[in-house]
Amino acid sequence: MSFEQMEKLKTKLPEWLETSRLRTGQGDVAAYIPELAKASRDTLGIHIADSQGQTVSAGDCGVPFTMQSISKVFTLILALMDHGEEAVFYNVGKEPTGDDFNSMIKLELVEPGIPFNPLINAGAITVSSLIAGDSPEEKSARILHFFRKLASNERLDYNMDVYHSELETGDLNRSLAYFLKQNGVLKDPVEDVLSVYFRHCSIEVDCSDLSRMALVLAFDGVDPHSGEMLIPRRYIQIAKTFMVTCGMYNASGEFAIDVGLPAKSGVSGGIMALVPGQYGIGVVGPSLNNKGNSIAGVHLLERLSKEFDWSLF
């Protein structure tokens, strides 16, 4: 972080965050997973990390939340590391859908019935089934181990209340999975695949964990703090491209225009974003807009991007 940028962030970030927090009343907390409805609508926090270990944070950055769809970026990377590009993209496509993240309409309409991309639910469920391991337990353990390494936090764990809440109410995801099984995309039993998927969605983090994971993406797969290469550069390239084209659901185009950074959001209100070669950013703001993204979180990232001219485009 340059000295001037750091100084400006330290003095201005709390004020910018409070301005964005005024937006929370215009959105709503996700309630289709009952446990997520317990989150406070006015929560807003951010944590920014750089390669030298400097950090800036503001607001409710210590509030824990589950990764939900943000986890899909890293399970995709793990599946690519397990099997390579060709095998993964035999089962899942590379295109945005223009539909909701849990929609199944294109699975029926478009041949050959594989999910459009790995960041919609159908795609991420397929990716979960591709994680190497002899049992759902082994697959989940490998995912958790990988996430802990990326976050440099051995204490990362599942929020079992959220996991059970989704397991009990996730019938739309269950329908998607049965459809995929019928199409021959899923090979394993549906409940086994879903247990892996729901588990990685329920991994609990805070903004600082998310910023550390994003930092590895920002530095092309190398953890800049340890110097360790954790992910091959090609897979980072693939993940970042999906983040730009599909990371913010059907608002990805708008986000690319207004913010211009690779990012991924989740229904718990988390957003992971990165400034390539510079910063990893973690945001939490459970009040969602009508596209399913954190309403205040997007507002804050837009402000930051404009203040520091961070857009890639």
Ligand X SMILES: NC(=O)CC[C@H](N)C(=O)O
Q: Which residues are part of a known binding site for substrate? A: 69, 121, 166, 173, 197, 249, 267
What is the pattern of x (binds ligand X, CB under 6 A) and - over residues 248-287?
------------------xx--------------------
Based on the shown chain and the rule CB under 6 A, indicate whether residue 91 belongs to the binding site for ligand X. Answer: no
Report whether 120 contacts 246 (CB < 8 A).
Answer: yes
Based on the shown chain and the rule CB under 6 A, indicate whether residue 35 belongs to the binding site for ligand X. Answer: no
> Could you tell me the two tokens for 299?
């507002």
> Which amino acid makes up residue 175?
S
Based on the shown chain and the rule CB under 6 A, indicate whether residue 101 belongs to the binding site for ligand X. Answer: yes
Lateral strand order in the sheet of 203-205: 65-66, 203-205, 157-158
One of 24, 55, 57, 69 touching ligand X (CB under 6 A):
69
What is the smallest separation between the CB atom of 147 and ligand X, expressed in angstroms? 15
What is the smallest separation between the CB atom of 159 and ligand X, expressed in angstroms? 12
What is the smallest separation between the CB atom of 110 and ligand X, expressed in angstroms? 21
Based on the shown chain and the rule CB under 6 A, indicate whether residue 159 belongs to the binding site for ligand X. Answer: no
Report whether 188 contacts 178 (CB < 8 A).
Answer: no
Report whether 20 contacts 300 (CB < 8 A).
Answer: yes
Active site residues: 69, 72, 197, 249, 267
Based on the shown chain and the rule CB under 6 A, indicate whether residue 177 belongs to the binding site for ligand X. Answer: no
Which positions ≥6 away from 237 have C-beta within 8 Å? none
For ligand X (CB under 6 A), the number of binding residues is: 10
Binding-site residues: 69, 121, 166, 173, 197, 249, 267
Site for ligand X in 183-222 (CB under 6 A): 201
Pick 35 or 220: Cβ nearer ligand X: 35
Based on the shown chain and the rule CB under 6 A, indicate whether residue 68 belongs to the binding site for ligand X. Answer: yes
Q: Using H for helix, E for strand and C for coil, what is the string for 5-50?
A: HHHHHHHHHHHHHHHHHCCHHHCEECCCCHHHHHCCCCCCEEEEEE
Instruction: Count other C-beta atoms under 10 Å from residue 237's C-beta.
Output: 12
DSSP state of 229: B
Q: Which residues form the interface with ligand X (CB under 6 A)?
A: 68-69, 101-102, 121, 166, 173, 201, 266-267
